[in-house]
Amino acid sequence: MILENYQFNYSWQGNKNKPVILFLHGFMGDRFDFEQVISLLSSSFSFLTVDLPGHGKTKIFGSEEYYTMSKTAQALIELLQKNQIARCFLVGYSLGGRLALYLTIYFPNYFEKVVLESASPGLIAEKERHLRLKKDCQLAAKLETNDFEAFLNQWYSNSLFNSFKKHRDFNQAIQKRLKNNPQELAKSLRNLSTGLQPSLWQQLKFNKIPLLFVVGELDQKFVLINTQMSKLCPNSQLKIIKNSGHNIHFENPVEYSKVIKNFLFK
């Protein structure tokens, strides 16, 4: 579907009379990332999956500002409107989780309940944001100039992904990542950087939508962040999934699907 400046590659699967879940994938993912979860939930919901800007087959017409969080969020709302989806459930992972939280705060009327997997509200301190943006811009430059496979090896050397790398399907996941266009990923990394997005910590206090924070017990960094988020955020719950790291829907799709279904149907 072509909106102004956006040609989203997306799919609306399942019985459209059933409640809709909009899934937002993480960095270097695509609209197929939640396939295992979708198959486990297919009897209860329909599913809107989309390649985010810089990913998969979605195309952007215009400057890099259309890769930013605010512009992307507005475009996703227009996508819902074009499909006549007045309200839906929202699930976002990592980068997609940050975007989902932004949508929750600035477009609350569109979402009944929201699940944030391994997400954060951004960085509070200006100095932290500056350093993170600088780091992400350096990584983006590597993406544009270096070997993509070498970049992937460096990216997944982060301790966040220790359990992900041990998964039997890790190499298959890497092959999927390699289907992305590194030039486009670089634009996403620069413009959707945690260092560039506004901090949403203060806005959490005013949340009115039922929110579920989901983290893996092996991902201690995000366990701490999400514990803080749940304490600040009214109408929220925290669920820590055992034997899982950062990428829970990939590492433990059965338990992840149960947790989501229980929350959305409660």
pLDDT digits (tens, 9 = 90+) for 162-200: 999 999 999 999 999 999 999 999 999 999 999 999 899
Containing structural domain, residue 215: 2-123+198-265
> Would residue 186 count as lying in a domain?
no
> Would residue 136 count as lying in a domain?
no
Answer whether 251's CB lies under 8 Å from 244's CB: yes
Q: Where are the alpha helices (DSSP H) in 83-201?
A: 95-106, 126-145, 148-155, 162-166, 170-177, 182-191
Strand, coil or helix: what is 167?
A: coil
> Would residue 63 count as lying in a domain?
yes
> Would residue 98 count as lying in a domain?
yes
Q: What is the CATH number of the domain that holds 40?
A: 3.40.50.1820
pLDDT at site 131: 95
pLDDT in tens, 47-72: 999 999 999 999 999 899 999 999 99
> Would residue 61 count as lying in a domain?
yes
CA dihedral over 43, 44, 46, 48, signed as positive or negative = negative
Answer whether 18's CB lies under 8 Å from 44's CB: yes
User: Is residue 2 over pLDDT 70?
Assistant: no
CB atoms within 10 A of CB 15: 11
> Would residue 49 count as lying in a domain?
yes
> Would residue 168 count as lying in a domain?
no
> Would residue 160 count as lying in a domain?
no
Number of domains in the chain: 1
Answer whether 14's CB lies under 8 Å from 85's CB: no
